[in-house]
Structure 1
Amino acid sequence: MSDLIIDIRNVSVRFNKASGNISGLKEYVIKMLKGELMFQEFLALKNIDFQVCKGESWGLIGTNGSGKSTLLKLISGIIKPYKGSVVVHGSISPLIELGAGFDPELTARENIFLNGALLGHSKSFMNLHFDKIVEFAELQEFLDVPIKNFSSGMAARLGFSIATVTKPDILIVDEVLAVGDFAFQQKCKARMEELLNGGTTLLFVSHSIEQVKELCQNAIWIDKGVIKAKGNVDDVSDIYMQSFNG
């Protein structure tokens, strides 16, 4: 399929959890050196098949710990699969963890350039778009304040503004809108709709089913690392909500 932008085939992601109670780093190192450190295998994702075409919008739904963020990190290249294949075409702007890519000791001004560099933008590019980023984030009066003094909502505004200053091929948004005020949530939705109309592919995680329905045409329900349903957003949302009613 020529317009396939994300192709995930039979993917599993494995993490190793240390078994037993370890009180601190010193005990961890001693046990590791003695060969007494035991690990328990944990499969965060199990045999995932997920294909996305260019310009589609997908909402990822499921309870906490279901594997949604793990799937997004897999697509972003942050983690690698234990088995299976992941093929992604095009540029990605990921908003996966609040504050990721920010140095709390640096000011907002400095972090704009740092975060831009992490996204692959040059200093001259960031200089060119600096005013646009600040204006969208509505942080003109806080440019020289360290990020550590920002509220979670302010940090989210800045992160979203940097991530969407250009039109990425794929925009990944994980619960970032949950911390912003209503007015900024509406502003972010308008920006995402603008990007979607321009052909950007959206992967969106939210605990708000209504937000998912507003922004996404499709949905995928993940539960304990397994895909329970995927397809039309209304159909998948109905199946998901029915699961809470026994």
Structure 2
Amino acid sequence: MKPVVTKFSQVTKIYPVQQERTLKDVIPQLLRLKPWAVPQASLKDVSFEINQGESVGIVGRNGAGKSTTLKLIAGVTYPTQGSLEVTGRIAPLIELTAGFHHELNGFENIFLNGAILGMSRREIEAKVTQIVDFSELHDYMYQPVKRYSTGMFMRLGFSIAVHTSADILLIDEVLAVGDDYFQQKSLDRLEKIRQDGQVTTVFVSHDQRSVERFCDRSLLLVDGQLVAAGPPAQIFKQYHRLPNKSF
């Protein structure tokens, strides 16, 4: 069995959530007799392991804790309770514009993103052509990225992420942005990564076909709790049986 590269042990993550305020609430809050925010658990006592080379899909409704899980793995935030162990270089594709400087052009942002992801300048220089070719943004690389559409951000961000020497690739719904052609191209690339069996992929998506296509197994989160883990088809059956909930 391949080594464990991500391990959650009874992880709870609590965020302060702003309360709805009325005029009657303002004075006690100003006098610090009443808190401005209340704690809310985004994850509750979650435990799981992911092995090297696995492709794992995280499934759940909005607010279930999927993005929080990726942010914890990426080191963007930390557990409130419990412990978390992550081994290897991480390439997070969680928020489209994260790691981009809007005044810099496409080429400059490749070097900026690569440096943030821990690549040396020599490593980045060796992969610039591959990154640009995969993104197919040749005509836009000298433009500042503030002029990019969301689809162009996705193309460049995804291209950088899959051409790094990452051990763990984190993807959060970003493939839902952009045209069908590039979505399919991206999924083909993820399938190749899966078949190579060296890079661990953690994928958040509501798209059942995509998760079933390239994830070895899935985790189902409900209201911050891990309620099931298993083959994607089985997990989606449970997911579709969840009661409807308004957000």
With normalisation by structure 2, the TM-score equals 0.90
How far apart, CA to CA, are the structure 2 residues paired with 1:99 and 1:19?
Answer: 29
1:163-174 counterparts in 2 under 5 A?
Answer: 163-174=161-172
Q: Within 1, Cα distance between the matches of 2:52 and 2:125?
A: 30
The answer as to 2:39 corresponding to 1:45 is no
Match of 1:204 in 2: 203
After superposition, the C-alpha distances for 1:142-175 in whole angstroms (9 at most, x for unaligned) are 0111111111111001001111113422111111
- Displaced runs of 4 or more, over 6 A: none
Q: CA RMSD in A?
A: 2.1
Aligned to 2:14: 14
The aligned runs of 1:170-181 (5 Å cut-off) are 170-181=168-179
Shift of 1:183: 1.3
Q: 1:2 to 1:204 in 2, by over 3 A?
A: closer
* Match in the other structure for 1:103: 101
- Matched residue type, 2:177: V
Residue 22 of structure 1 and its aligned partner are, at CA, apart by: 9.1
Q: Which moved more, 1:133-142 or 1:181-190?
A: 181-190
Query: Counterpart of 1:125 in structure 2: which amino acid?
Result: E
Kept in 2: contact 1:167–1:195 (CA 8 A)? no
Distance in 2 (alpha carbons) for counterparts of 1:151 and 1:18 = 32
Shift of 1:125: 2.0
* Unmatched tracts of structure 2, length 5 or more: none
Equivalent residue for 2:74? Answer: 76
Which residue of the partner structure matches residue 130 of structure 1?
128
8 Å Cα contact 1:94/1:172 also seen in 2: yes
5+ long unaligned stretches in structure 1: none
For residues 53 and 107 of structure 2, the distance between their equivalents in structure 1, rounded to whole angstroms, comes to 32
Q: Distance in 1 between matches of 2:243 and 2:40?
A: 25
Instruction: Tell me which amino acid in the other structure corresponds to 1:143.
Output: M
Contact 2:152 2:178 (C-alpha < 8 Å) held by counterparts? yes
CA distance in 1, matches of 2:2, 2:156: 35
Partners of 1:210 and 1:6 lie apart in 2 by: 25
Q: Work out whether residues 175 and 183 of structure 2, in 8 Å CA contact, stay in contact via their aligned partners in 1.
A: yes
Letter in 2 for 1:218: R
Q: TM-score, normalised by structure 1?
A: 0.90
Measure the CA separation in 2 of the matches of 1:231 and 1:183: 30
Count residues in correspondence. 239
